Each structure stands twice: as C-alpha cells, then as structure tokens.
Structure 1
Amino acid sequence: MSDSRPAMPPAPATGRKDAAYEQIRRLILDNVWPPGHQALEQEIALQLGVSRTPVREALIRLEQDGLLQIVPRHGIRVLPMSAQDMRELYEVLTALESLAAELLALQRPDRDTLAPLVQATDAMAQALEQDDLDSWARADEDFHARLVTLCGNRMLAEAVFSHWDRAHRARMFTLRLRPKPLESTREHRALIDCLLAGDSAGAGAVNRAHRQRASRELLSLFDRLRLQQL
C-alpha cells in the first residue's frame, strides 16, 4: 500500500544553518573536536549530512565566537583554550558561585529545596563508582547550575550562564587528563551541610575552596601541556 502522506518540505535554509552551527559547536564544546582538530568544509558537510552552504555560514559564526579558525583552502582548525582565559574564567565563576552559595544559605533552605543538589552529588558518586566520567561531568555541571539557580538572584545566574560554554569546554577537555575527581563529591556534601545549617560564611568558604582547587588542577594541566608542546 502506498503512503498517501504528503512529502515534508525541505528544511528552511536558516534552519539548516542554525542546525549546522549547533552541531559543530557541540562537537567543539564536548571536545569531540579537540583543540587543533582540522577538517575540510566538504568533510564537515558530509559528516552532518547537509550541503556546504549552511556549513560555511555556520563556520563563519563559530570563527566569530572564537572557537575555530577558517584557513583558506585548508578548511578549519579548532582553536586552543588559553591558560590566561581559563584563569580569568575561574576567578569569575569562583566569585559568583560563592556569592550564590552565601545567598542561598541565608534563606535557610530545607532538605526538599536542596534535593536537586543532593541528587546531583549522589549521581556524581555513583558515576565514579562505575568509572563513568561523562556521567560524572554531567552531574557535576548540574550541581553548579542548580546552585546558582536556587540562590534566587536572576542577574547573578545570567552572569554565570554567560560563561557556561567555556567552562563546559574546559571541563570536557581536561576530563580524562586530570586525576580521578574524588574530592568534588566530598566538597559538595560539605557545602550542602553548610546550606542546611544556614551558615552563609561557611557555604561561601567551602565553595570558594572547591572552585580554587579545581582551578589549580586545571591550570597546572594547561601549563604541563604547553611545556610538552614547546
């Protein structure tokens, strides 16, 4: 029996361009395409299953975003992450997230309010037991996103999320290069205890120490990689 349903019209050009942009962007942010990755425009179009025109337009946007470089006649090259950029990024995130922790503690949240943080921390612990670093990274990212959302300061959350992509890329780039992240679960649970106790100063201090430790690990790794490339 023939299918009498009408054929779907082709996707609008704008839709194809935006879809290509999001797909390529995600490949870079998730470190599927690591720093230094090179590809020809035609290869990318074949991989995404679209024509070269939306790919070309998407690549121009991604170059403007600072994620890649278009090399004439040689396709694209994914740009590296600067150690200085990462240092500044973590300084900003440390300050904003620690303030979010302080603001949330002042609200004296109950266990129901903090359930998303507990669930994310439990998911991190379970992922480590199973040596599933990808699941650990998702749960860790969920914890920090929930923290800044729960604090109730919309502008603070918007400021944090404006840096989210770069923080995600750094996390995924270093995920399998760092030591197993055993300390994060303990530090998250200590933060939850401070929040439940309404200890604003303690919550800020615990989160600040947590972010500063992570920053030191990441920057030390960036320095080692740079020296290996000299």
Structure 2
Amino acid sequence: MQARGMEQGASRVGDAYTRLKAEILSNRLLPGFQATEPEIAERLGMSRTPVREALIRLQAEGLVELVPRRGARILPVSAADMNDIYEILTALEPHAAAELALRRPDAQVLAPLEEATSDMEAALEKPDLDAWAAADDRFHRTLLELHGNDRLTAIASTLFDQAHRARMVTLRMRDMPHRSTAEHREILGALRRGDAEGVRRLFRDHRERAARELLHILERMGLPQF
C-alpha cells in the first residue's frame, strides 16, 4: 500500500510538472506572472503538495523563481540570456554531431532525424509554422539523444526549454525558415557520409546564423525580456 501511495504521489507530481511546463513554454503563463502555491494549485485543480514539488523542479530548470511567502514567478528570458544560451549550444551541439558522424550511423539510426527534417519540409509546404517549430525542436533533441551523453543532453534540453518562449514569440517575425530547413538537410547528409568535420562546421554555422537572426529581431522589437 505504501509503495502504491508513493507511485501515485510521483504521478501527481509528474502531472503537475508537465502541465505547468506546458503552460510556461506556450506562453500561456507569461514571463513575470506570479501567483501563490494555492492559486497555482487551484488553477490546475490539484492539491498543493505535487504543485510545490513541480515548482521546485521548474526552478532547477531556470523557468520559475520561488519567492518566499509570495509563491512562484515565471522567469523572463532576456536578449542577453539568449546570447549566452546560443553560445553554449554552439559549443555543445556541433561537437555532439561530429562525434555521432564518426560512428558512421546507418539509415536506421538516422531515421528519426530524417523524419524530423521531412516534417519540417512538409510544414513549410502548408505552411504551418507551429508544426515546423515542433519538428525543428525534435531534430535537435533527437540528435543529442543519438549522441548518447545523458549529461550533455540534460544540459542542452534545459537550454532549449529556457529559449523556447523567445523563439516562439519571434517565429512569425522572421522570413519563412527555408534556409534553416535546408541547413538541417545538409547536416543530415554530412552525418550519413560520416563527415565529422563537415557536420561540425555546418552545425556551428547553423547555430551562429540562427543566433544573429534572433538577436537582431529582439533588438528591433526593443523588448529586452520575454
């Protein structure tokens, strides 16, 4: 009975965490939003205990700040934050991609990346930018999973989450992402060839260009935080 109760408690915490994170990443809970634990629990229709545990997890991921006696505040992402995040990703992801290329992965291993790239191309045909962004995110997360370093994946995934809100706000302020999609196709081709240095260069150039484009939009908007 005790084990069953622990499992149910963990499930409730997981549910609260998943729902709150989705609210934050979708900007339904906007940066700067602040509420007490009882207010958040009421919003979710849950008890306070799993909500508190979920908020602690989200604080560790840099998405919320727990304020004594005031509950939780959704943290903003500034242009400076985005610059730092992209600098780190530009160091981590090309390395992971090059390491994966050295293993000369076959078509079966690369199938999830092929699917994500094809989904990006299909989304542009519609066009459906939300579907494109989901496929783009899936490509990057899957590549790190294929690399197989769990700590690197955890670090990069946290950065992806922190950057997601700003990326979604600016998604429709950019040109249609044909170039970005083509770059993913080129990266996939280099992985197939086992071209470690080629994929490292392509991935670095991809991240650097994306960072310049995003930061330019943030500066043009004149809104320092999201």
**TM-score bracket for the superposition, by shorter chain length:** 0.7 to 0.9
What is the distance in 2 between the residues matched to 1:102 and 1:63? 32
**Letter matched to residue 181 of structure 1:** P
> Counterpart of 2:173 in 1: which secondary structure?
coil
The alignment status of 1:190 with 2:186, answered yes or no, reads yes
Q: Which runs of 5+ in 2 are unaligned?
A: none
> Larger C-alpha radius of gyration, 1 or 2?
1
What is the distance in 1 between the residues matched to 2:94 and 2:86? 12
What's 1:176 paired with? 172
- Equivalent residue for 1:92, pick from 88, 97, 103: 88
- Equivalent residue for 1:132, pick from 128, 133, 139: 128
What is the distance in 2 between the residues matched to 1:139 and 1:226? 29
Q: CA deviation at 1:75?
A: 7.2
What is the distance in 2 between the residues matched to 1:45 and 1:36? 18
What's 1:113 paired with? 109
**Letter matched to residue 144 of structure 2:** V
Taking a change above 3 Å as real, the CA distance of residues 207 and 43 of structure 1, as seen in their structure-2 partners, is: same
What is the distance in 2 between the residues matched to 1:90 and 1:109? 26
Number of corresponding residues: 220
The alignment status of 1:212 with 2:193, answered yes or no, reads no
**Letter matched to residue 193 of structure 1:** G
- Equivalent residue for 1:222, pick from 200, 218, 221: 218
What is the distance in 1 between the residues matched to 2:27 and 2:119? 22
What's 1:83 paired with? 79
Taking a change above 3 Å as real, the CA distance of residues 108 and 59 of structure 1, as seen in their structure-2 partners, is: closer
Q: Which has the higher helix share?
A: 2
Q: CA deviation at 1:140?
A: 0.8
The alignment status of 1:146 with 2:127, answered yes or no, reads no
Between stretches 18-27 and 53-62, larger displacement belongs to: 53-62
What's 1:6 paired with? none
- Equivalent residue for 2:19, pick from 23, 32, 36: 23
Please, what TM-score do these two structures have when normalized by structure 2? 0.78
CA RMSD of aligned residues (A): 3.2
What are the superposed Cα offsets for residues 186-220 of structure 1, whole Å, 9 maximum, x if unpaired?
00111112122222111111111111111112212
Q: CA deviation at 1:179?
A: 2.9
Please, what TM-score do these two structures have when normalized by structure 1? 0.77
What is the distance in 1 between the residues matched to 2:33 and 2:214? 21
What's 1:47 paired with? 43
> Counterpart of 1:32 in 2: which secondary structure?
coil
Q: Which runs of 5+ in 1 are unaligned?
A: 1-8
What is the distance in 2 between the residues matched to 1:154 and 1:103? 14
Q: CA deviation at 1:97?
A: 0.7
> Counterpart of 1:114 in 2: which secondary structure?
helix
What is the distance in 1 between the residues matched to 2:40 and 2:177? 34
* Percent of pairs with identical residues: 51
**Letter matched to residue 202 of structure 2:** V
